Chains A and B, each alone.
Chain A
Amino acid sequence: MEFISQHPVLVVSLVKIALTLFVVMTALAYLTWFERKVVARMQSRWGPYYVGAHGLLQPLADGVKFLFKEDVTPPSSDIVTYILAPFLALVLALTAIALIPIGPTDVLLLGQPVFAVSNVNIGLILLFAITSLGVYGVALAGWSSNSKYPLMGGLRSSAQMISYEVSLTLSVVGVLLLAGTLNLGDIVSGPGGQTGYWLHFIPRWNVFPQIVGFFCYLTAAIAETNRVPFDLPEAETELVAGFHTEYSSFKFAMFFMAEYANMITVSCLATILFFGGWLSPFGGHEWEKFIPVAIFLALAAYCLYSIGTDLEAILHKLQFTIVVGIFLVLAAVCFFFPQYAMPPFWFILKIAVFMFFYVWARGTLPRFRYDQLMSFGWKLLLPAALANLVVTAVVWLVMHP
């Protein structure tokens, strides 16, 4: 106990890091479940249904499968780079999540800020720097597989990522002008932040003045994470090959996790920059703690109902009972600790909306051809982001002489 009181920074940081990693990895696993279920429902079928109740144990089964598959290494590849590439992709994707605050940075527990693993004054640029290093994972994976198709897929994918990175960073500069700071916590709730209301009911989120910037950011973010409709270099796997062809079992799982972690990172950044981060749309009153309680209790009631009617196997009923237990615990936490639970609740809700949007796009849109993709990025998106920046700067100068 003395150690804890003498080194509070170290202990609290380690706890925060461990908790963040655990939560993010679980979220990654269940994001795959979410995606498969939603895409399946959009295609009028069930999705994972048999492994666990409603497919809830499917990520576990996939994880076990990935661990026990045979690890095939192509014989003539560059072994150091071959092993380094998926590790690099995953490490960078997970590091970026550490920079994101999920609540106000001045809420303290044991004297340390509790909602942010790290709160740097240049958080936004550092986040973009780590994202730009993520190109290496893809490029090196394509190169070290020592085969034509992964090389082409890797080159195309990394060229796409670099092109859309420029538009990504430029579309954010308008928000930077409005916020006046690079600190992610201050962009939400600092002096240039997004607290307060216009006309007493429209929350002062940056999406309203920066709507063009938001759509540029969203498009560039989807392209940056190699998702549909921009996933030609990756979806060549369905036709021929992609940059992770020669990877099997755990290394492929690492690429997979890195892709979802990148999705989470850009969604977090979108909520912080454009949608007010952890700020509630209703203004932070006392009665708001009943909203998550109501939602979780409703979900628990639905699960109890489906235990009674839908599920037949005893194991499935047991799993759904555990799910009901989790929802009840979450409702209790939101009710009894509102100042620690409400900001993350709103933040995660907004991220969940973005995740749904990603999966919805995947289930709906056809993909771009590669030359259409590159010309869209350079000839349409970059001028749009630049125009947004110029107009924002002119309006800002006029309003603040």
Chain B
Amino acid sequence: MSAIPVSWYLALSGVLFGLGVVAFVFKRNIITIFMAIELMLNAVNLAFVAFSRAHSASGQVALDGQVFVFFVIVVAAAEAAVGLAIVLALAHTRQSLNVDRVNLLKF
């Protein structure tokens, strides 16, 4: 697998992160915004695994990146659960999933 430079993986991670940012800024549905957050987390995971590969010598593997990815996935799960519970509560009170409608605190 040494034919693919690690920098290509990092470039892909950057592209995915940028697309996640664009989706986060321009979409109006709360759930889609959450999914853009998950896309950004995935892009970062890819960067972590790529770096873990970059720091591995030929005999031994540097595992710290992969362990961190493990924890990022776990934290993303917890965050998705709580966030979607908030979305459910919001949908019951505001009757809409459009993030523009959640503007009661707007000055």
| Direct touch of chains A and B (CB < 8 A) | no
Q: Which residues of B contact A (CB under 8 A)?
A: none
Q: Which residues of A contact B (CB under 8 A)?
A: none
